[in-house]
């Protein structure tokens, strides 16, 4: 008998209070697809792309409990006596390789008996090959990126190393990464050699630009991240994470360039981020709990997704996910929950609220659930999705039990 998997999702809320553009894109059985370059572009959405490139007026900043914690930490930066500058360890900031200097500077900062600030100066460009910043550290460490960090464009630099990572932070508590600087993944050479771009090439992994693995009490904020080789920022097996004020961009045609990826991570808050890439703006996968994403601008890209979950007969469980106040423009999809087809998939307790905008396809709402365990406790509330030209839209449902609250357009499918 083939192995069975169990997949459970509960207490998922999608609330979109701004303009919402949605279209449906079917995926093949391998979930490996590449979207055609669409007609969306900078000329079509000049005000939106202004927001993507630095004008954050599109979404008002909403303070939360993390703000005071960050202010207190900044105050500690200013009073700290242990500032470790990468240039003191040989980094030149002229576009030449600074990997060894960064490694040595990290060793100094991580071994400090008092809180340390690892400083990457402004108005400089530092080239890095694959690098790992490992913990545990003796004290709190803050990485202040003021200048630009750029990935090597030589794929051979990953030979003999983990090809899934460019910059990896592993096993660190009380880590702060920010500073207002730039991180450039130099992904073009990787995209050109992707099997999704060139079908004659074998499929192989490409690096994630920033990976945070097994970190606790982590803050990542105020960075501009662009053109990752694959995923831009990934949070894996981490806890108590605060992510805010990130601008993440890559061409719409770039393959697998998710903006923010969350897997097996608990208690993560993502706020006030602007994301436009060639894949999901935010993707949330198995093992994650208490995920809260608010004030998100998304597009171009594939929208905001939970999954894909349950591949290769695996067990997957995810709960307490809230996406509240998001603006999506020029995306191929809206909000999705993606699972692999099996006989043991359960999706329940999902609220879709305040979806307003246009759909690029006639089918604006689609549920295609398990025949064995139908989707249940699905609430549709205050939804208004018209066609791109103001035409009527429809819904399509298989094996779903839903409840309607308020006005819902298009009308839900028959139960």
Active centre residues (catalytic): 279, 302
Q: 262 and 240 in contact (C-beta within 8 Å)?
A: no
Q: Using CA atoms, how far apart are residues 413 and 415, in angstroms rounded to an integer?
A: 6
Rounded to 5 degrees, what are φ and ψ at 281?
-65, -45
Residues 6 or more apart from 286 whose CB is under 8 A from it?
7, 263, 264, 309, 310, 314, 315, 316, 317, 318
Residue 98: CA atoms inside 13 Å, Cβ hemisphere, count?
25
Largest CA distance in the chain: 68
Burial of 315 (0-12, 13-18, 19+ CB in 10 A): middle
Q: Using CA atoms, how far apart are residues 245 and 153, in angstroms rounded to an integer?
A: 27
- The answer to whether the Cα torsion of 73, 283, 157, 249 is positive or negative is negative
Nearest to 339 by CA among 298, 383, 375: 375
C-alpha distance from residue 200 to each of 203, 304, 342 (Å) = 9, 30, 31
Q: Using CA atoms, how far apart are residues 233 and 245, in angstroms rounded to an integer?
A: 13
Q: 352 and 380 in contact (C-beta within 8 Å)?
A: yes
Q: 244 and 272 in contact (C-beta within 8 Å)?
A: yes
Q: Is 50 helix (H, G, I), strand (E, B) or coil?
A: helix
Neighbours of 144 (CB within 10 A): 22
């Amino acid at each position: 008998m083939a192995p069975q998997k169990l997949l459970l999702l509960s207490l998922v809320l999608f609330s979109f209070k701004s303009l919402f553009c949605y279209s449906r894109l079917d995926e093949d059985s391998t979930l490996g697809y590449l979207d055609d370059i669409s007609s969306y572009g900078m000329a079509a959405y000049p005000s939106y792309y202004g927001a993507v490139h630095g004008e954050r007026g599109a979404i008002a900043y909403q303070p939360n409990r993390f703000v005071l914690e960050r202010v207190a930490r900044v105050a500690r930066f200013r009073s700290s006596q242990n500032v470790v500058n990468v240039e003191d360890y040989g980094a030149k900031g002229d576009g030449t390789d600074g990997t060894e200097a960064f490694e040595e500077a990290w060793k100094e900062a991580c071994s400090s008996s008092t809180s340390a600030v690892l400083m990457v100066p402004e108005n400089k460009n530092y080239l890095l090959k694959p690098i790992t910043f490992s913990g545990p550290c003796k004290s709190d460490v803050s990485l202040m990126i003021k200048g630009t960090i750029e990935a090597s464009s030589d794929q051979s630099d990953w030979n003999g190393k983990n090809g899934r990572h460019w910059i990896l932070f592993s096993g660190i508590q009380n880590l702060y990464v920010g500073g207002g600087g730039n991180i450039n993944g130099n992904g073009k050479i990787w995209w050109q050699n992707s099997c999704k771009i060139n079908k004659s090439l074998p499929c192989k992994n490409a690096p994630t630009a920033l990976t945070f693995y097994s970190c606790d009490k982590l803050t990542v904020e105020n960075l501009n991240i662009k053109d990752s080789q694959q995923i831009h920022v990934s949070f894996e097996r981490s806890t108590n994470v605060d992510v805010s004020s990130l601008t993440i961009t890559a061409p719409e045609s770039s393959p697998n360039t998710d903006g923010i990826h969350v897997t097996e991570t608990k208690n993560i808050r993502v706020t006030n981020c602007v994301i436009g890439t060639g894949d999901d703006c935010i993707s949330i996968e198995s093992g994650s709990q208490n995920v809260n994403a608010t004030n998100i601008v998304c597009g171009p890209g594939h929208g905001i997704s939970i999954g894909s979950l349950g591949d290769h007969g695996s067990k997957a469980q995810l709960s307490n996910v809230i996406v509240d106040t998001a603006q999506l423009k020029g995306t191929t999809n809206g909000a999705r929950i993606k699972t692999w087809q099996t006989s043991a998939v359960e999706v329940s307790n999902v609220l879709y609220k305040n979806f307003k905008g246009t759909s690029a396809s006639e089918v604006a709402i689609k549920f295609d659930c398990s025949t064995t365990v139908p989707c249940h406790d699905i609430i549709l509330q205050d939804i208004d999705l018209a066609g791109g030209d103001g035409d009527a839209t429809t819904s399509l449902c298989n094996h779903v039990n839903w409840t309607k609250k308020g006005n819902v357009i298009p009308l839900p499918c028959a139960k």
